[in-house]
Structure 1
Amino acid sequence: MELQKMNGHSRDDGFDAPDAMAEHEEFLPHKTGGKKEMHFTDFEGKTSFGMSIFNLSNAIMGSGILGLAFAMSNTGIILFIILLVCIAILSAYSIHLLLKSAGVVGIRAYEQLGNRAFGPPGKMLAACIITVHNIGAMSSYLFIVKSELPLVIQAFLSKHENTGEWFLNGNYLIIIVSALIILPLALMKQLGYLGYTSGFSLSCMVFFLISVIYKKFNITCPLEDDHHNMTSIADYHPVVNETDDFCEAKLLTVNSQTAYTIPILAFAFVCHPEVLPIYTELRDATKKRMQAVANVSIMAMFVMYLLTALFGYLTFYGAVESELLHTYSRVDPLDVMVLCVRLAVLVAVTLTVPVVLFPIRRALLQILFPDKPFRWAVHIGIAFCLISFVNVLVIFVPSIRDIFGLIGATSAPSLIFILPGTFYIRIVPEDQEPLLSRPKIQAACFAALGFIFMVMSLSFIIIDWVTGESRSGGAH
């Protein structure tokens, strides 16, 4: 659940000085008895291989998992699997580029790689992209609170429908949750202890997956036994309800919503700002060992994503919503198992928001107040403004699909494709790998591929908005 974003960051504040000391170093020094340079390998990591896999899996796992069944419904099973495999492989290659770049210059912070590659503008660009992406992550988490918490309260009150009371209004509820839970946690100087919730968060998502698989065999297609939903489904997905085979699995399909698939998948695999801090904490850290951590983590999340998307899609077919949990309320709003899943996911995402806020504040401090001592007024002010901004965003954005789509189409390709590729080209010395060497040509093609993904996805999403196609999502 991206709970390791702060891991090791508290020691990053002084990295400009180590950067200056490492400026003339091309390779990381091996363990010798000579004088010590301040590289990230000087920090002795204590995290085991298995726990590092656990941490990175939590960094990958996020709210994007709730949108994968929707993505499959708009691509078909075969195309979705092809795209999921491609994004997973490309994410692993992207981490390879990051680790190679960090190994050359001895830097463990994403922003500092940008500074080494392109100077202060590169540092600011990386910080801004991380900020935008994490604001998108915060928004997606609060959107889940907005759409799911009213249903949980409604179920506890044994209400079969929302009767309009203020405590069933998601907009009021996210403000209350933000003020009473998220803001106090975000005001703490050190949020490291919240990393302990990562295990609970991942457990929640495993429980979510088990529930999705179980429900596949207990729910028939909505058109077969829930006729009162036919109108809402038709309004919800007019582009796919053109034939009578609405409850049949599509192996390959394309419609106006297909444009959201790559951004949703990219959003679900972003973990790159956390890779270097986790690398730092790894015991007996080597590039090969950390790459193995990344490969195992990506494979584990690939399996989890695929099973969630497949069983979620095969439960609701064309009626699946962009936030999968919300779809179950159309079958039985008072289902105890779904209620337990909702509660677990709500607690997990609520505790995640202040942790995701931490690297945003750190990036803003680097941009706005570089080399300034800690001040409580700035610390509190940034947290309050960020939470207020995200609340306004979530209240006025009509659908979580728009958050997944827009953030996935901009910051995700930048963090996965464009920045690692360009950093690699700029940082790896030419005497080690010439500009026209195969690795650098591959990195350039990789960055170009990310740019193409970004332009295409944004173009299709803007066309979808302009033409006024169906507005899907949890905001009903």
Structure 2
Amino acid sequence: MQSLSETPGQRSAFCRALATSRRSFAIIPPTLAITADTHRHPSDRLYRVSHDGYPLRYPEIGTDNWSLDQLPAEYQQEDRVASPGGSSSMSRSRRRAGKDGHGGQASMFSSIVNLLNTIVGAGTLAMPSVLSHMGIMLGTLLILWSGCTSAFGLYLQSRCARYLDRGTSSFFALSQMTYPNASVIFDAAIAIKCFGVGVSYMIIIGDLMPGVALGFNGNADKIPYLVDRHFWITAFMLLVIPLSFLKRLDSLKYTSIVALVSIGYLIILVIYHFSVDPHADPSNIRVIQWAGAVETLSALPVVVFAYTCHQNMFSIINEIKDNSPPSIVRVVGSSIGSAASIYVLVAITGYITFGNAIVGNIVSMYPTGVASTIGKAAIVVLVLFSIPLQVHPCRASLDAVFNWRPNRGNSSGGRAGSPLLNSAPAQRGDHGSTAPMSDLRFALLTTIILTLAYITALSVSSLDRVLAFVGSTGSTSISFILPGLFYYKISDPESIHHQRLAKEDDDMDGSDDSDVEDTGALAQSTHSIRSAASVASGRSGNGLRWRRKWRWDLEHVDNGLLRKMALALAIYGMVVMVVCLVMNIFFITAAH
């Protein structure tokens, strides 16, 4: 490598070209090794750049010989964006993060763990019974389909969050921008749904712990309180209280890990019995055929609601350190993908073991012993650490309900020509409330939720029928209907919010272009750098164009198409809601 020289102006121009290239391809590191091809004429000289085994070539831009060992310090932060074909939308979340001072601290691992723990619960053990109604083929396809629709709902939530300032995403904040007068209904439904699920978890603890105590000690029934469900609900409530008073979802990552270890043990238990126990008679296993329309529809809610975690998605987006689109897609894909794999594995192995004789809780079918007793204890641990994950969104929704005020202004939803909503109408708290929740308000709401949940769990022994209706309305709303409707409304090209976001993108694009004040030769140099980078990374020109058309983080999807898909998801959710409600009414009527 020669010792080369350049003028400050030429160095600055070349640095800007490299910075632009790094934003596009993110493969040019701060330190470059540059050599000149002295075998060519100076007017047609090529410089060779190598870094980490990637050779790049580009024509000179106005100097015969020069060297660049390191980019200027002002470009050192550009390597944070690491996505080919990056657009302004890819870094929008970071730009908006710096606007109001909000920034997340949660890691991607923490976000995945908390979201996965919200998804995977005791319903995992009911998956084999789903196949007994639908058959292996249809049941597996429905499990995967439900995962895809739920993942799309989560993705739409992340797209909606871009219209809000960093750290303010919530159903309440979005409803204030789209359907302000209906926001109280949305949040009330979410609060009731999360409250009901939390109470059901406490009831499960009360039902299982007496059996766990007897499993570990056959004489436990001689001590009355060890077989008293009220005692166990009270005892575990003492563990739930401190966890429920944690303000950040990220603080629950360690308990979520413990809960996932518990579900891991249950998976191992199911697989173990599948491998050592005799399988059901093949004539007692449905592969393609189903049990009938009524039986299939009765199992539909178990699968459709198995991925419900959308109540915590906005908290994940608010708290994650890197909330760029690729990062959010990784969180969603990892969580939903892991949950789908768990569901399919448990469903198939459990169903083949028992066939059509399977019941709702597969662990209850295993012979009494230490392994099955530990399995029941694992269920208790799983639901125990899932209760705070329900208290978190319940508290946020209740706070939004109490803060709600009727919108007496224009109800046009922020379309162009209507009064312009402020981009940040008020300082919003972590969940989009009109003001950050005070410590007193936080403690008061948490205390109310836990007290009511505790009293309800002690008073009733089953919430199946109530939860059936709550799940049919609340789960479908937050999983499919609201994400679809919110994105369809807020991304309307005539929406003032969408126009403002588009203007921010245009401003950023203009800022990027102004940084590259190059001559025709410099423009040619930049083009050559990008072309060479594509070749160096093993992609041909056609491959690069394909990459620009298709991106795994879905940033390539046209907004018009995405709006149609969002509307389709909302309609799908409404259909599911109606079907589930009709089935609930049918079964209640048939029971009488």
Report if TM-score (shorter chain) is over 0.5.
yes
Matched, 1:263 2:301: yes
Q: Are 1:362 and 2:400 an aligned pair?
A: no
One of 216, 230, 236 as aligned partner of 1:156: 216
Q: What residue in structure 2 maps to residue 456 of structure 1?
A: 579
Instruction: State yes or no: 1:425 paired with 2:501.
Output: no
Which residue, out of 476, 486, 494, partners 1:413?
Answer: 476
- The structure showing larger relative contact order (alpha-carbon pairs under 8 Å, at least 6 residues apart) is 1
TM-score by length of 2: 0.61
Contact kept? 1:263, 1:407, Cα under 8 Å: no
Q: Hey, what's the Cα distance between the residues in 1 that align with 2:328 and 2:444? A: 38
Structure 1 counterpart of 2:264: 206
One-letter amino acid of the structure 1 residue matched with residue 478 of structure 2: L
Structure possessing the higher radius of gyration over alpha carbons: 2
Shift of 1:131: 1.4
Comparing 268-277 and 379-388, the one that deviates more:
379-388
Aligned residues, how many?
Answer: 408
The more displaced of 372-381 and 302-311 is 372-381
Q: Would you say the 8 A contact 2:240–2:388 is kept in 1?
A: yes
Partners in 2 of 1:410 and 1:177 — Cα distance? 32
Match of 1:388 in 2: 455
Which secondary structure does the structure 2 equivalent of 1:321 belong to? coil
Judged with a 3 Å threshold, the aligned counterparts in structure 2 of structure 1 residues 127 and 467 are, in CA distance, closer, same or farther, namely same
The 8 Å contact of residues 139 and 403 in structure 1, kept in 2 or not, is answered as no
Q: What residue is the counterpart of 2:171 in the other structure?
A: 110
Q: Which residue of 2 aligns with 1:67?
A: 126
Q: Which runs of 5+ in 1 are unaligned?
A: 1-25, 225-243, 470-476
Question: Post-superposition shift, 1:174?
Answer: 4.9
In the alignment, which of 131, 134, 139 is matched to residue 194 of structure 2?
Answer: 134
State how far apart, in whole Å, the 1-side matches of 2:186 and 2:114 are: 22
Deviation at 1:359, TM superposition (A): 2.4
Q: Which amino acid aligns with 2:262?
A: C
Is 2:502 aligned against 1:468?
Answer: no
Q: 1:127 to 1:93 in 2, by over 3 A?
A: same
Q: Using a 3 Å threshold, how does the CA distance of structure 1 residues 110 and 327 change in structure 2: closer, same or farther?
A: farther
Tell me which moved more, 447-456 or 248-257. 248-257
Give the residue type in structure 2 aligned to 1:147. Answer: D
Question: Counterpart in 2 of 1:49?
Answer: 108
Is the contact between residue 73 and residue 313 of structure 1 (CA under 8 Å) also seen in structure 2?
yes
- What's 2:289 paired with? 252
Find the counterpart in structure 2 of residue 297 from structure 1: 335
Shift of 1:348: 3.0
Q: Could you tell me how far 1:345 is from its partner in structure 2? A: 2.4
What is the CA distance between 1:165 and its match in structure 2?
Answer: 5.8
CA offsets per residue over residues 387-414 of structure 1, 9 Å max, x none? 3234434x144x5xx5664443222211
Shift of residue 342 of structure 1?
Answer: 1.8
CA displacement 1:323-359 (0-9 Å, x = unmatched): 232232xxx22x1111122222212322332442232
1:90–1:158 distance in 2 versus 1, CA, 3 Å: same
Q: Structure 1 residues 468, 80: CA separation in 2 closer, same or farther (over 3 Å shift)? A: same
- The answer for the alignment partner of 1:215 in structure 2 is 273
Counterpart-to-counterpart distance in 2, 1:43 and 1:134: 27
Shift of 1:208: 0.8
Q: Distance in 2 between matches of 1:444 and 1:386?
A: 35
Question: Residue by residue, what CA displacement relative to the aligned partner does 1:117-147 show, whole Å, maximum 9, x if unpaired?
Answer: 111422x223122212212321332232133
2:203 alignment counterpart: 143
- Mapping of 1:334-373 within 5 angstroms? 335-368=369-402, 373=438
CA distance in 2, matches of 1:298, 1:145: 26
C-alpha deviation, 1:302, in angstroms: 0.6
Shift of 1:182: 3.4
Contact 2:114 2:250 in 1 (8 A): no
- Cα displacement (A) at 1:81: 0.9
Distance, in Å, in 2 between the alignment partners of 1:144 and 1:30 is 40
Q: Which deviates the most, 262-271 or 175-184?
A: 175-184
Partner of 2:542: none
Aligned-partner Cα distance in 1 for 2:134–2:97: 57
Instruction: Check 1:72–1:62 CA distance in 2 against 1; reply closer, same or farther (3 A cut).
Output: same
Cα contact 1:149–1:173 (8 A) shared by 2 = no
Does the 8 Å contact 1:425/1:440 carry over to 2? yes
Does the C-alpha gap of structure 1 residues 51 and 180 become closer, same or farther in structure 2, counting only changes over 3 Å?
Answer: closer
Amino acid at match of 1:128: A
Cα deviation, residue 181, structure 1: 3.7
Instruction: Give, in angstroms, the shift of residue 188 of structure 1.
Output: 7.0
RMSD: 3.5
Change (3 A) 1:29 1:460: closer
In the alignment, is residue 440 of structure 1 matched against residue 559 of structure 2?
no
What is the distance in 2 between the residues matched to 1:115 and 1:345? 39
Matching residue of 2:364: 326
1:287 and 2:348 correspond = no
Contact 1:183-1:384 at 8 Å conserved across structures: no
Q: Using the alignment, how far apart are the partners of 2:94 and 2:106 within structure 1?
A: 20
Cα deviation, residue 45, structure 1: 3.1
Identity of aligned residues (%): 23
SS at match of 2:162: helix
CA apart distance, 1:186: 4.3
Q: In structure 2, how many angstroms separate the alpha carbons of the residues matched to 1:356 and 1:142?
A: 12
CA 1:71/1:163 → structure 2, altered by over 3 Å: closer, same or farther?
farther
- Contact 2:90–2:325 (CA under 8 A) maintained in structure 1: no
**Aligned-residue offset at 1:28:** 8.9
Alignment match, 1:240: none
Tell me what 1:83 maps to: 142
Deviation at 1:30, TM superposition (A): 6.9
